[in-house]
């Protein structure tokens, strides 16, 4: 399972012209379930991102987590993170989890995030989403936990 984490001052997801999820300061999480991933990988990834110290403390040093600063999480499904571009100009997405399993893992991840964190907003799985953000820093960090594949 992998994610791209972006520290933001604000972010929102729009589907069909309607904002369906939005946060102020916090993390935009682009989340990808891959073949062989399980709930265990989702749990590891969530634990890592909730404790990742990428917010500034009083001295301006990145020393605080999203939980320390009471920031929001905006979790957006992003199967294209599994893209394999080694074989030419058209990406292959065969490493992405099949749609039903991807949805199950996304829903599981969101449920676990909501149980562990006070503010969680989401996109809509498999929808044509428009994501707007103001990247703070900019700080953008890839996270990956190994699956069973």
**Active site residues per annotation:** 78-80
C-beta contacts of 85-93 below 8 A and 24+ residues apart: none
Query: Which residue from 82, 55, 73 is spatially nearest to 133, judged by alpha carbons?
Result: 73
DSSP alpha helix (H) spans, 86-126:
99-116
């Amino acid at each position: 399972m992998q994610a791209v984490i972006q520290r933001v001052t604000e972010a929102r997801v729009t589907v069909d012209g309607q904002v369906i999820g939005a946060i102020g300061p916090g993390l935009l999480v682009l989340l990808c379930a891959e073949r062989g991933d399980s709930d265990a990988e989702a749990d590891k990834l969530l634990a890592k991102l909730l404790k990742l110290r990428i917010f500034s403390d009083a001295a301006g040093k990145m020393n605080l987590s999203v939980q320390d600063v009471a920031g929001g999480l905006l979790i957006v499904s992003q199967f294209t993170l599994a893209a394999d571009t080694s074989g030419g100009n058209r990406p292959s997405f065969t490493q992405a989890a099949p749609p039903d399993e991807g949805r199950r893992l996304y829903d599981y991840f969101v449920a676990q995030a909501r149980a562990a964190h006070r503010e969680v907003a989401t996109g809509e799985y498999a929808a044509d989403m428009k994501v707007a953000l103001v990247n703070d820093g900019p700080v953008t960090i890839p996270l990956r936990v190994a699956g069973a594949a």
